[in-house]
Structure 1
Amino acid sequence: MGFANNVGKYRLGRTIGEGTFAKVKLGVNSDNGQYVAMKIIDKQMVLKSDLKYQVQREIRTMKLLHHPNIVRIHEVIGTKTKIYIVMEYVAGGQLSDKLSYNRKFDECEARKMFQRLIDAVDYCHNKGVYHRDLKPDNLLLDSNGNLKVSDFGLSTLRKPNDLLTTACGSPCYVAPELLWNKGYHGAAADVWSCGVILFELLAGYLPFDDRNLLSLYKKISRAEYACPPWFTQSQRKLIARILEPNPRKRITILEIVEDAWFQIDYVTACEYESDQDIYLDDVNAAFDSVEEQGTETKVTKSPSFINAFQLIAMSQDLDLSGLFEEQDQKKQTKRLGSTHNINETIEKIEAAAADVRLSVERIKNSKIRMLPKQMMTRCSRSYFDLSAEVIEVAPTHCVVEISKSSGDLRMYNDFCESLSSLLSKSSGVLSQTQEESLEVHVTCKIDRGDGSSEELSCEDNEGLRGYASA
């Protein structure tokens, strides 16, 4: 195996994973011959995409965690153009890969993996860390088959009783309370995801799985699943207590550990004693050199940015609020997709308005009100209410929401038709298929840890094989 390039004391070899903003290479420490996984992040790409705080938070979080079932960070190296995150190399790949060809595990092996998962999650929660994206893709196996939790890109650091509001995670593993668009407890949400993973380990398939997102989320909200016939009564009972849709009634980690089935052959994993001081200065220092140069290329954060769960909720076909409340039928709404950036999309809206003799009035940066040119007097404005709001999904993908609560329907339709023709050929009213595909490309709003938050868009980095997030 060739190791051509050097970064400090590390010699880099083949690429073992690649994502939108980062690639992961196998490396070796020249001092002791230890293999490492080196995540290489492009600084400018991270800053332009406003992902700085996500990367910093992931590094800080992983530096604070020292447990045999959690992937460790050794150090962070910064250059003018790159950030090198030196991590523990886990040779066995993702748990999802093993599931794909094993289908399911026998009871003893599944229980052992679940025990290690619960130990790691319990340790995180005791440190105030909530993962929020637990799934087999983010669980790695070492050469001895020991499980290790990775990818803390969506994690957050909070006090135990603090409510979280960010709807994030992967659809098949997400807890029902995240779909209610209300506050939730990170511990209960992680426990639900652990329950889905346990079911998958024992059954070989997911308890909640449907190509139609509305059907999927209905099943999750109602905990509609069926255990295969080979599940024992003990397994059924434990899974039922974990997959309880009411988070207040859901079993806790302490109760899971006390469960009779879980206790079989259970040996508590001991956390590592930290063998080195935890330095966080290099987390900020890794960005310093590029930020001094990057003032001219700084990208202003979009005033309107959404995540996949909010995007799904925008569709009447996929809106879960219909399960709980009546829909307002008075307001007419249409949504168009745009493959242009937010500024170009606004220019298209203004051009479409001019085509149908509408005057444009900016309400805010991303929202526009349109009025007939012959009806611009103050007393007549209330008789025509047409607006368009641009919501950025990714740097070159937007959703335009057109709303009309009063006025001429013909003019509304003419405007929608004109705008649709001006947008990219691949754009149009979001279909169910398009919305389902967006779940892969849009993730979540990011909590900075200082009380503020950002909503970000990240590509699905499946290629990073468990080292993903940047």
Structure 2
Amino acid sequence: MTEDVMMIINSQIKKYEIVSQLGEGGFASVFLGRHYLTKEFYAIKAISRDRAMECGLLCYLENELRLISRFDHPNIVKMYEIIYLQSYICIIMEYCPNGDLNNVINSDQPLHQCDKNRIALEILEALDYLHSRGISHRDIKPANIMFDKDMHVKLIDFGFAREQSESVSTMCGTQMLMAPEVICNYNYDGRKADMWSLAITLHALAVNCLPFEYRGDSQLAKDMKSRTLPINIIATGMIGWIVRNTLIYDPDKRASTAEILNHVKNNEYTYVVKRLPRVKRAKTSSILEQVEYRQNTPHILKVRTNKEGNPCIGNRLVRSKARFF
């Protein structure tokens, strides 16, 4: 099936050569493509029209394409072109060769705390860009946070994103990271629900574990509804502060992206622009040229240190090779 799709794309899209497959889902395949003239690499997402229609996903696809075409932020994946074929819709996107946040969390090369802070801030900057425009992502999770060739964050997957998100009721996302109001089927503000998901994601980045004991989706839903979820925040420093101020049952008491960024500006946290270790990734990584680390990273922190900025949390925590979806 994959070879058939590759043949169709290679025969009908003249500008790009398919180098290899990067991934596959229920109704789409993602390929590494190379532009014939510029030799630049791109991710080509080929979506089956028939499968998307059968699964009722065309409306989500249309929503994603409409939104992402308007975004212009260094930490949100760029879409360059949409090519409509008879059987497939092909989206030409920025290629992120260093995988997703799960790869970083599980890398054999542990990150320094200042590097984790930088990643957290780049995620926050991307989310603040959306929230300031009245857009909620509604599926914040490690798998939707990719890294480009310079190890900068690229937020992806806007199928569930919603404009004017003050009050929505659709249950969507990944249950392990869903906010209580989403699981309980209440009307909710999508941006505030994003902050709960962000807290869990950043806690996983900081200490490689969830901030609560996960005992399955069914038990999680029961604990959410009864407000008895045993929360245990291990993360400290900047990320610990963010988690403590966003992993809150009452959505109105969660800090917003703007409030968090303002707090970070006015407090002393370790933040040094360093080259992050390259994550061993796909077979295609060997064909990529080594590039210099670019310096236009988030600018909001001074290079100062306090005891919270460099937490030492015993041995490297927990769940080796965990995947947080």
Q: TM-score scaled to structure 2, two decimals?
A: 0.74
User: Cα gap change, 1:152/1:269 in structure 2, threshold over 3 Å: closer, same or farther?
Assistant: farther
**Whole-Å Cα distance in 2 between the matches of residues 184 and 211 of structure 1?**
25
Q: Partner residue of 1:72? A: 78
Q: Is 1:112 matched with 2:118?
A: yes
User: Cα gap change, 1:209/1:169 in structure 2, threshold over 3 Å: closer, same or farther?
Assistant: farther
Match of 2:26 among 20, 39, 51: 20
- What whole-Å deviation, never above 9, does each CA across 1:115-141 have from its counterpart, x for those lacking one? 000000011122332110010011101
Matches within 5 A, 1:309-324: none
Q: Is 1:148 matched with 2:154?
A: yes
Pairwise CA distance, 1:244:
1.1
**Whole-Å Cα distance in 2 between the matches of residues 233 and 19 of structure 1?**
37
* Unaligned segments of structure 2, at least 5 residues: 1-5, 273-296, 301-322
Q: Partner residue of 1:336? A: none
User: Cα gap change, 1:119/1:16 in structure 2, threshold over 3 Å: closer, same or farther?
Assistant: same
Pairwise CA distance, 1:217:
3.1
Q: Partner residue of 2:46? A: 40
Q: Is 1:125 matched with 2:131?
A: yes
The amino acid across from 2:148 in the alignment is D
* Unaligned segments of structure 1, at least 5 residues: 271-461
Secondary structure at the counterpart of residue 118 of structure 1: helix
Secondary structure at the counterpart of residue 83 of structure 1: strand
User: Cα gap change, 1:43/1:234 in structure 2, threshold over 3 Å: closer, same or farther?
Assistant: closer
Asked whether the 8 Å contact 1:223–1:245 carries over to 2, the reply is: no
Q: Partner residue of 2:194? A: 190
Structure (1 or 2) with the greater strand fraction: 1
Asked whether the 8 Å contact 2:117–2:271 carries over to 1, the reply is: no
**Whole-Å Cα distance in 2 between the matches of residues 262 and 8 of structure 1?**
52
Secondary structure at the counterpart of residue 64 of structure 1: coil
The amino acid across from 2:209 in the alignment is Y
Matches within 5 A, 1:276-295: none
Match of 2:211 among 207, 211, 215: 207
Match of 1:89 among 80, 89, 95: 95
Q: Is 1:177 matched with 2:181?
A: yes
User: Cα gap change, 1:201/1:64 in structure 2, threshold over 3 Å: closer, same or farther?
Assistant: same
RMSD: 2.6
Asked whether the 8 Å contact 2:212–2:232 carries over to 1, the reply is: no
The amino acid across from 1:52 in the alignment is L
**Whole-Å Cα distance in 2 between the matches of residues 88 and 251 of structure 1?**
31
Larger Rg: 1
Asked whether the 8 Å contact 2:122–2:153 carries over to 1, the reply is: yes
User: Cα gap change, 1:73/1:113 in structure 2, threshold over 3 Å: closer, same or farther?
Assistant: same
Q: Partner residue of 2:305? A: none
**Whole-Å Cα distance in 2 between the matches of residues 191 and 46 of structure 1?**
29
Pairwise CA distance, 1:76:
0.5
Matches within 5 A, 1:256-405: 256-260=260-264, 264-265=270-271, 268=298
**Whole-Å Cα distance in 2 between the matches of residues 130 and 90 of structure 1?**
23
The amino acid across from 1:60 in the alignment is R
Asked whether the 8 Å contact 1:105–1:204 carries over to 2, the reply is: no
- What whole-Å deviation, never above 9, does each CA across 1:141-162 have from its counterpart, x for those lacking one? 1122111101111111225xx3
The amino acid across from 2:208 in the alignment is G
Pairwise CA distance, 1:59:
1.0
User: Cα gap change, 1:236/1:16 in structure 2, threshold over 3 Å: closer, same or farther?
Assistant: closer
User: Cα gap change, 1:238/1:56 in structure 2, threshold over 3 Å: closer, same or farther?
Assistant: closer
Asked whether the 8 Å contact 1:257–1:263 carries over to 2, the reply is: no
Pairwise CA distance, 1:180:
2.3
The amino acid across from 1:11 in the alignment is E
Pairwise CA distance, 1:181:
1.5
Q: TM-score scaled to structure 1, two decimals?
A: 0.53
Asked whether the 8 Å contact 2:184–2:221 carries over to 1, the reply is: no
The amino acid across from 2:255 in the alignment is I
The amino acid across from 1:164 in the alignment is V
Pairwise CA distance, 1:209:
4.1
The amino acid across from 1:35 in the alignment is F
Pairwise CA distance, 1:108:
0.9
- What whole-Å deviation, never above 9, does each CA across 1:289-321 have from its counterpart, x for those lacking one? xxxxxxxxxxxxxxxxxxxxxxxxxxxxxxxxx
The amino acid across from 2:216 in the alignment is N
Asked whether the 8 Å contact 1:11–1:27 carries over to 2, the reply is: yes
The amino acid across from 1:39 in the alignment is K
Asked whether the 8 Å contact 1:61–1:129 carries over to 2, the reply is: no
Pairwise CA distance, 1:31:
2.7
The amino acid across from 1:107 in the alignment is Q
**Whole-Å Cα distance in 1 between the matches of residues 125 and 256 of structure 2?**
13
User: Cα gap change, 1:188/1:262 in structure 2, threshold over 3 Å: closer, same or farther?
Assistant: farther
Secondary structure at the counterpart of residue 25 of structure 1: strand
**Whole-Å Cα distance in 2 between the matches of residues 115 and 262 of structure 1?**
14
